[in-house]
Structure 1
Amino acid sequence: MRVVMFGYQTWGHRTLQALLDSEHDVVMVVTHPRSEHAYEKIWSDSVADLAEQHGVPVLIRNRPDDEELFARLEEADPDIIVANNWRTWIPPRIYGLPRHGTLNVHDSLLPKYAGFSPLIWALINGEQEVGVTAHMMDEELDAGDIVLQRAVPVGPKDTATDLFHKTVDLIAPVTTGALDLIASGQTAFTPQDRSRASFFHKRAEEDIRIDWNWPAEDLERLVRAQSAPYPSAFTYHRGRRLEVLAAVVSEGRYGGTPGRVFYREGDGVVIVAGADARAGRNHGLAVTRIRTENGEEMPATDYFTSMGGYLTGRP
């Protein structure tokens, strides 16, 4: 089939590479300009560079809503558009233009975790598996019929970076497998159960600020979700920003006020956690490694030389 690819960052790069390695003919690529947004500088393999290396025409757009782009698409005469990590709305006259419509590849197990940063949100929420879904695009974001879906388990110590590497390897087989089904003439795919759908926004600094009212289990997953190269989860100690690089749920249960620097346990320092911590039924978060405001990394036991005081969400 003649394919136009819309994509960005490493997800788009892997999709384009899969298409170039397939029997299909990539006739044009549309991608976004480079961005300085913190999350868009991560996993930033260039779709444009890969296309140009293979002699594929490239258009750079923030939004696919101009007449020149539409005319170029008509000239390209695609059988299908394949999109992965396209960051803005694609209008119906674009996604409906190819003979077989538009196939979107999304890094979640739709209908859950539509939208942005699905792996990070899924890890924070304690999901047992994550994956990649190829679905037909319609007027609602990430809501079209599912063509093909593959899942991988979330391990008890997995970080968001681990999950990225697990799922990015699914892009090629899911993309080419879905295209094979479409090329074979199949048109009836699996409608999404919209009663199970969830939609998540882009992550920003407010989303990595530690709230000590959260249960320790949730905070431990937040720390893993914000593993390098993502921005680290942070809190404040004595008015200075403190990044939490590694932590575990405490073995003991600790009562008191959320955020209290309380007790040394093993290799960590336990911080009281949970909105109902006063009842003494909660585990705490045993912080094991931190980064100070000046960029120095160290074991938490070296930083907290005495117990007492509080970690807070604001200076």
Structure 2
Amino acid sequence: MRVVMFGYQTWGHRTLRALLDSDHDVVTVVTHPRSEHAYEKIWSDSVADLAAAHGVPVVIRDRPDDEELVGLLEKAEPDIIVANNWRTWIPPRVYSLPRHGTLNIHDSLLPKYAGFSPLIWALLNGEPEVGVTAHMMNEELDAGDIVVQRAVPVGPADTATDLFHKTVDLIAPVTIGALDRIAAGETEFTPQDRSQASFFHKRAEEDIRIDWDWPAEDLHRLIRAQSAPYPAAFTFHKGRRLEILAAFVSRGRYGGTPGRVFYREGDGVVIVAGADARRGRNHGLALTRVRTEEGRECPAAEYFTTMGGYLTSRP
């Protein structure tokens, strides 16, 4: 099939690589300009560079809704559009232009976790598995019929970075498997159960601020979700920003006020956690590695020379 590819960052790069390695003919690539957004500078393999290296025409757009682009797409005469990590709305006159429509590749197990940063949100929520879905695009974001979906388990120590590497390897088989079904003439796919749908916004600074009213288990997942190269979860100690790089849920249960720097357990320093911590039934979050606002990274046991005082959400 003649394919136009819409994509951006490493997700789009892996999709384009899979298409170039397949029997399909990539006739045009549409991608975004480079961005300075913190999350868009991560996993930023260039779709434009890969396309140019293979002699594929490249169009760069923030939004795919201008007359010039529509004219270029009509001239390319694609059988299908394949999209992955396209960051803005694709209008109906574009996604319905090819005879087979548009296949979108999304890094979640739809209908759950439509929208942005699905791996991070899924890890935060303690999901047992994550994955990649190929679905037909329609007027509602990430809501079309599912063509192929594959899942991988979330391990107890997995970080968002681990999950990225697990799921990015699914892009090629999911994409090509879906195209094979479409090329074979299949048109009936699996409708999404919209009663199970959820839609998440982009991650931002406020989303990585630690709230010590959260249970320790949730805070542990937040820290794993914000693993390098993502921005680290942070708190404040004596009015100064402190990033938490590694931690574990304490074995012991600790009572008191959330945020209290309380006790050494193993190689960690336990912080009291949970809105109901005063009852003494909660595990704490044992910090093992931190980074100061000056950029100094060290073991938490070295940073906290004495117990006492509080970690806070604000200076």
Matched, 1:145 2:156: no
Equivalent residues in 2 for 1:13-28 (5 A)?
13-28=13-28
Question: 1:212 Cα deviation (Å)?
Answer: 0.4
Tell me the alpha carbon deviations over residues 30-65 of structure 1, each in whole angstroms, 9 at most, x when there is no partner: 000000000000000000000000000000000001
Q: Which amino acid letter does the alignment assign opposite residue 284 of structure 2?
A: G
- Secondary structure at 2:278 match in 1: helix
Q: Which amino acid letter does the alignment assign opposite residue 253 of structure 2?
A: R
2: distance between equivalents of 1:204 and 1:314? 16
4+ residue segments displaced more than 4 Å = none
Question: 1:91 Cα deviation (Å)?
Answer: 0.2
2: distance between equivalents of 1:97 and 1:171? 24
1: distance between equivalents of 2:296 and 2:241? 12
In structure 1, the partner of 2:95 is 95
Q: Which amino acid letter does the alignment assign opposite residue 264 of structure 1?
A: R
TM-score normalised by the chain length of structure 1: 1.00
RMSD: 0.3
In structure 2, the partner of 1:274 is 274
- Secondary structure at 1:48 match in 2: helix
Question: 1:204 Cα deviation (Å)?
Answer: 0.3
Matched, 1:285 2:289: no
2: distance between equivalents of 1:251 and 1:37? 38
Matched, 1:7 2:4: no
- Secondary structure at 1:4 match in 2: strand
2: distance between equivalents of 1:300 and 1:186? 57
Tell me the alpha carbon deviations over residues 215-250 of structure 1, each in whole angstroms, 9 at most, x when there is no partner: 000000100000000000000000000000000000
Tell me the alpha carbon deviations over residues 79-112 of structure 1, each in whole angstroms, 9 at most, x when there is no partner: 0000000000000000000000000000000000
Question: 1:143 Cα deviation (Å)?
Answer: 0.3
- Secondary structure at 1:100 match in 2: coil
In structure 2, the partner of 1:81 is 81
2: distance between equivalents of 1:254 and 1:196? 37
2: distance between equivalents of 1:187 and 1:271? 55
Unaligned 5+ segments in structure 2 are none
2: distance between equivalents of 1:194 and 1:162? 29
In structure 1, the partner of 2:43 is 43
Equivalent residues in 2 for 1:179-258 (5 A)?
179-258=179-258
Matched, 1:55 2:32: no
Unaligned 5+ segments in structure 1 are none
- Secondary structure at 2:68 match in 1: helix
Percent of aligned positions that are identical: 86
In structure 2, the partner of 1:135 is 135
Matched, 1:111 2:108: no
2: distance between equivalents of 1:279 and 1:144? 47
- Secondary structure at 1:286 match in 2: strand
Q: Which amino acid letter does the alignment assign opposite residue 135 of structure 2?
A: H
1: distance between equivalents of 2:168 and 2:189? 23
1: distance between equivalents of 2:192 and 2:309? 49
TM-score normalised by the chain length of structure 2: 1.00
